[in-house]
Amino acid sequence: MTSITLDDIGLKDFTLQTLPRLKELRSQYFSRRPEICIERARYITKYLRYHDNASDSPEIRQAKKVSYFLHRKSAQFHDRNLIAGSTTSKALGAPLFPEFFALTLWPELETVSDRKKNPQKLTHEEATELNLDIFPFWMDKNVLELTRTRFSNPKCLQLFENLVFFIAAKAGCISHAVPAYSFMLEHGLSGMIAMAAEREEALAAATDKKERQQADFFRAVQISLQGIIAHATQLADEAEHLARVTNNSEDAAELIEMAAICRRVPAGPATTFREAINAIWICQVGIHAENINMAMSPGRLDQILYPYYRRDIAEGRLDIARAIELTGCLWLKIADNVTMVPEASEELFGGAGTVPAITIGGVDANGEDAVNDLTYIMLRVTELLTIRDPNVNARYDYEKNSSAYCRRLAEATLNTKSVPAFFNDKANITALTGQGETLEHARDYAVIGCVELASSGRDYPASSSIMMNLAAPLEMALFQGKRPITGEEQIGPVTPDPSELASFEDFWQVFKTQLDWLIEQAIQLNDYMGAVHQEMMPSPLLSALFIGPMDKGKDLIQGGALYNSSGATHIAFADVVDSLNAIEQTVFVEKKYTFNDLLEQVRNNFSGLEGEKVRLYLQNHTPKYGTEAPIARKNSRNLVQHLFNLYQSHTNYRGGPYRPSYWTMTNHAGLGGISGALPHGRKAGKVFSSGMTPVSGAAPELTACLNAVAELGGELVPGCWALNIKYTPEADVTTMSEYFAQTIEAYFRAGGQQVQFNIMTYKMLLDAKKHPENYPELMVRVSGYSAYFKDLNEMMKDELITRTQYGLTDGQAVPLPPLQ
Amino acid sequence: MKALIGNINRYALHDGPGIRSTVFLKGCTLHCPWCHNPELISPEPEVAFYPERCITCGDCQAICPQEAIHLESEHRIDRNHCNGCGLCVKSCPSGALILVGREYELEELVEILLRDRLFYERSGGGVTLSGGEPTQQLLFISALLERLHHEGIHTIIETNGLFSYEQFASACLNQLDLIFFDLKLSDSDQHRQVIGYDNRVILANLSRLLESRAEDVIVRIPVIPGYTASPENIDQIGQFLRQQKVLRYSLLPYHPYGLVKAEAIGVTPDQTLPRQAMDQSELLPWQGFFYDMELMST
């Protein structure tokens, strides 16, 4: 059921020149430097210090704490954006969440404003308040310390703190979710509060413990949502105040209209497109009062907002230019915050945005074409703004969506050089139905953060719970449970010396022993931290915006969602597969080297002429993931299959399964930097390959590469993957977008789940590294999200530079120029 | 059944419509000085040497049973003694030595070509046979084309036109969707002097092909400075095509791509050829000679 009424789906008549407000806002956005905002930390600390009642249930304590903050959160209008509300008190703010890692800022309070890489401004007064008042309160109260105390500093926690094995993301966030906004728009928060009150009322006489908990949850929902309404009222008051003190009558009129909107929504049901957009944004602000700003993803906005758009257009209240302007205002609002990153974490996370994902296109619950005018409007806005956040993802069903749509996506990618990312509806819906989701629910999937999948508002997938460094268990398999970086310490089980193994199959078993042990450590820590979250960080506000908790009377953190799971993503997949291939080929098939030879070279980091000879041989003469070499295909399939089986056999603290995925943010650069040499000829300290992407230079043919990756897709990768492909830009965008679109469709038909692009050359990126001042707005795809090239650390820049660049006119890898 | 193949170029966009796989068969009867693929002229495997990748480890010299490799020699390989066995290539860690020409079983090749079926289908592409001169391995390509045709894959041959018409027609004409037929020099004597054969058989073959398959023949003329790029030659080719009622043609701009590859296999390239590629716009003046035919861009 296609609902395209646009004459030109490219909307080429609408540019930043015809949309002066967006042009102005965009230029202000690029001129802003991040500032740390301490408002949230201040008010939740005050609440806990002076008002907290320890006998309240965890949900009610959380609700009161968040609502206390929302009642006091300052209302700011930083620019001429048409949408009211901001995540923080700063124009571009980094909020502090002392429940998590905010205290890592403590040693850097004096330096964070002026540090060389990505400084974040903090005033002297605010630094003092943090130092003397806020941080001391939290010293033993963050998730990490509570886990340490409650579970007596377990081994799994120590492994995590070592940072080189895996990352337990719950120490820093859960967030990573897509709420269900349609219900909120239809009923308004007041309507939802009334429903919660009714349910609480029905349980008033209950004495059963479970029912009491349910009543408490419904109470917590009301308190939280009232906090959002209180903040909307403050926004209205402030807008009216500003309208009175401005001399500009145009500004005043706009402010008065914004005030009226904030008094109507999100308390009441939305009646117009503009109200709906503003209601969603104020709810996003509310969600960020409760949950850290990491991948809180608004979801399928082209579907959610479409009824309001269509009605306004039909009734003449809205035209396309205004719809583009309002959508652009929302995009810029979503981009109004960054994460607080202490200097020590720059290596791992530097340059990342907060990755709120928006999903457009694809099919509807009935499996029919869901692309509408708003899909193209959102695509045009994404193309015109080309900003890091929101992370815009395009779903594509090659049978139901038109090829004109796919070509338009291709054209937008060629124009922006990097966005949107492409998601295959067929494969991703299969991945979710494989997790027991109904077909209708799976069809309503949206992307979370980088690439992860969730049925909109039904799925609480904590999709970034574990980030596993696969190179760690590989090294432990090579060195009997030890790793070069941790020296003589026995980390994993003592497995047999590889040089005594008779077959590759035996080594595969040894590798799995170490892998399974490490993953089980990570799972145990995740479940420990989950238990801590259940006590100290429930999410009644977010729960109210989900489908499930209001029926079950249960917070998301207690398993209130319809579908519950935990996500585990993997770093160094391609490097580990290639290492397995190299071992199998050279030690067991060709018998060119003994296992001892190989271990010796790895230990010595391939030093000397002999070492370099071996390294080049391993690099040039062993089967590679990203080609169709049978050994590489077998090992990649086996690894994906094994990880799937292992994770699915574990149940998390919310009663759901673990879901594997393959995206890496910037961790593949950071973890590569601290990992030793590997048997596929990678020297110590070199970056790993990103996400599901083959090792740079290992996959010389585009179609072979796409085929090799695609065949791994579907049920075995329920958390999806990030495949990075770099294309040489061509002058002829029209011809190129045709081949571009055809290539994506073939890759999707072969089973590929996701692909994202950088349309740039080695040369250009090398120049951007050398002269960052000439590329202030250069945006690149990292692994599932976008970043400004200049913000990335040096290792990550090198990783982007050396990624295989394919010519879209010949499908061959372009030779890498000599690097200075 | 086997064929000696120099390379399989997947995702080829310049060898016919859509996304294609181009199979480069080794062995050619002609010796054009500007040949794009000089490493595919000989019907035997050859070792190519790329000095910039060599780390002078000496493994190749040690392993060569013919004692044809000399580390101190600039070109490394004594071509008079090398028999193309490829042992040195297997031992070379850095990829400085590459074996050009590998035998493929028919089914192995078909399997590789079918891997990209989805790309062909989405783009209206298929498989192109090129070379070398594919008709030199006629029995093999006959079987290959039949298999591809059976699989519904669109097929093209790129030929220099020097073949026995009867054999060609019975072996593969019915399984070919398009024929790219090269014409280089119209003067038969010049053709013999420059390329090694006169062009009478080639011209006759083109005439006969056009009788039955005029719709499917595209004549390609390489525009080579100093050789084919003269007004007389191009004009005469134009007149010949007009007489023959050729419908579609294409001009191939000169590219020095073959020169580096010639050096890699120890062949000194023609020194009169420019080191600069020809720009598409330089073809414009030549197109006037074919005003009444349809220009195919490839």
The H or E element that residue A511 is part of is helix A504-536
Query: Using the beta-carbon criterion (under 8 Å), do A749 and B122 form an inter-chain contact?
Result: yes
Mean pLDDT of the A211-228 span: 98
Residues B41-57 have a mean pLDDT of 95
Q: Is the pLDDT of residue B183 over 80?
A: yes
> Hey, of A424, A426, A633, A701, which one would you mutate to test binding to chain B, going by the most B CBs within 10 A of its CB?
A701
> Between vectors from CA A506 to CA A500 and to CA A510, what angle results, nearest 5°?
90
Please tell me the number of Cα atoms within 13 Å of A417 on its side-chain side: 22
Q: Give which of B15, B54, B89, B118 to mutate to test A binding, by max A Cβ within 10 Å.
A: B118
Tell me whether residue A146 is in a domain.
Answer: no
Instruction: State yes or no: pLDDT of A1 exceeds 50.
Output: no
Whole-angstrom distance, CA of residue A703 vs CA of residue A148: 49
Which residue on chain B is closest to A702 by alpha carbon?
A: B11
Do B2-43+103-295 and B48-100 come out as alike in CATH topology?
no
The kind and range of the H/E element at A433 are helix A425-433
Kindly list the domain boundaries of chain B, sorted by start residue.
2-43+103-295, 48-100
- Mean predicted confidence (pLDDT) in A547-559: 97
Interface A-B: count of C-beta contacts within 8 A: 76
A650 burial type by CB count under 10 A (0-12 exposed, 13-18 middle, 19+ buried): middle
Q: Nearest-CA distance from B116 to chain A in Å?
A: 7
Q: Report the pLDDT value the prediction gives residue A293, as an integer from 0 to 100.
A: 96
A461 sits in which H/E element: none
pLDDT range class, residue A697, cuts 50, 70, 90? very high
Residue-wise DSSP of A552-585: HT--GGGT-SSEE-EEEEEESHHHHHHHHHHHII
Under the banding of pLDDT at 50, 70 and 90, the label for residue B56 is very high
pLDDT in tens, A656-666: 999 999 999 98
Q: How confident is the model at residue A819 (pLDDT cuts 50, 70, 90)?
A: low
Distance (Å, rounded) from C-alpha A36 to C-alpha B140? 71
- Rounded to whole angstroms, how far apart are CA atoms B15 and B126? 10
- Determine the average pLDDT of the residues in B219-233: 97
pLDDT (tens digit per residue) in B136-154: 999 999 999 999 999 999 9
The pLDDT value recorded for residue A117 is 86
Residues A493 and A514: beta-carbon distance below 8 Å: yes
Confidence of residue B295 (pLDDT cuts 50, 70, 90): confident
Q: Where are the alpha helices (DSSP H) in A246-387?
A: 249-264, 273-290, 301-304, 306-314, 320-334, 346-349, 373-385
Per-residue confidence band for B75, with pLDDT thresholds at 50, 70 and 90: confident
What integer is the mean pLDDT of A352-372? 96
Nearest to A746 among B13, B94, B119 (CB): B119
Q: Is the pLDDT of residue B298 over 60?
A: no
The answer to whether residue A341 is domain-embedded is: no
Of A614, A701, A739, the CB nearest to B19: A739
Q: Tell me the residue range of the domain where A112 lies.
A: 35-139
Q: pLDDT exceeding 70 applies to what percent of chain A? A: 99
> Min CA distance, A744 vs chain B (Å)?
9
Q: Per the domain annotation, does A418 fall within a domain?
A: no
Q: For domain B48-100, which CATH number applies: 3.30.70.20, 3.30.479.30, 2.40.50.140, 3.40.1390.30? A: 3.30.70.20
CA distances from A11 to A323, A375, A503, B159, B203 (A): 12, 11, 60, 46, 53
ipTM: 0.94
pLDDT at residue A257 is higher than 90: yes
Residue bearing the bigger pLDDT, A503 or A344: A503
Residue A378 φ/ψ, nearest 5 degrees = -65, -35
Is residue B2 within 8 Å of B103, Cβ to Cβ? yes
State yes or no: pLDDT of A390 exceeds 70: yes
Quick check: is A734 in a domain?
A: no
* Total tally of structural domains belonging to chain A: 1
pLDDT tens column, A555-602: 999 999 999 999 999 999 999 999 999 999 999 999 999 999 999 999
d(CA A112, CA A120): 6
**What's this model's pTM, rounded to 2 decimal places?**
0.96
Measured CA to CA, the distance from residue A450 to residue A392 in angstroms comes to 10
Average per-residue pLDDT for chain A:
96
Residue pLDDT, tens place only, A413-470: 999 999 999 999 999 999 999 999 999 999 999 999 999 999 999 999 999 999 999 9
Please work out, in degrees rounded to the nearest 5, the angle formed at the alpha carbon of residue A294 by the alpha carbons of A290 and A295. Answer: 110
Cα A716 vs. chain centroid, distance in angstroms? 20
| A99 is a domain residue | yes
Rounded distance between C-alpha atoms, residue A767 and residue A758, angstroms? 16
Q: Looking at beta carbons, which residues of chain B come within 8 Å of A742?
A: 18-19, 119, 122-123
Query: Would A580 be classed as within a structural domain?
Result: no
- Decide if domain B2-43+103-295 falls under CATH 3.90.420.10: no
Q: What is the pLDDT of residue A816?
A: 87
Peptide bond into A266 cis (omega under 30): yes
Q: Is B56 on the interface with A (CB under 8 A)?
A: no
Question: Do the beta carbons of residue A459 and residue A559 sit within 8 Å?
Answer: no
Q: Distance of alpha carbon B161 from its chain centroid, rounded?
A: 12
Judge contact between A466 and A567, C-beta under 8 A: yes
Among residues A562, A551, A543, the alpha carbon closest in space to that of A195 is found at A551
Q: What is the pLDDT of residues A133-157, one digit of tens each?
A: 999 999 999 999 999 999 999 999 9
Out of A49-53, A543-547, A645-649, B71-75, pick the least confident. B71-75
In a domain? residue A248: no
Exposure b/e, A61-93, CB count within 10 A at least 16 = b: bbbbbbbbbbbbbebbbebebbbbbbbbbbbbb
Residue B2: Cβ within 10 Å count: 13
B280 CA to centre of own chain: 20
A45-77 pLDDT, tens digit per residue, is 999 999 999 999 999 999 999 999 999 999 999
In this prediction, residue A146 carries a pLDDT of 96
Alpha helices for B95-230 (secondary structure H) = 106-114, 117-123, 138-150, 165-172, 188-195, 200-213
Q: How far is CA A804 from CA A6, A699, A727, A760, in A?
A: 38, 8, 9, 11
Bridge-based pairing state of the strands A658-661 and A566-571: parallel
| Residue B119 to residue B128: CA distance in whole angstroms | 14
Are A809 and B59 an interchain contact pair (Cβ–Cβ within 8 Å)?
A: no
Query: Which pLDDT belongs to residue A570?
Result: 98
What is the distance between the alpha carbons of residues A679 and A598, in angstroms, rounded to a whole number?
Answer: 7
Q: Does B57 touch chain A (CB under 8 A)?
A: yes
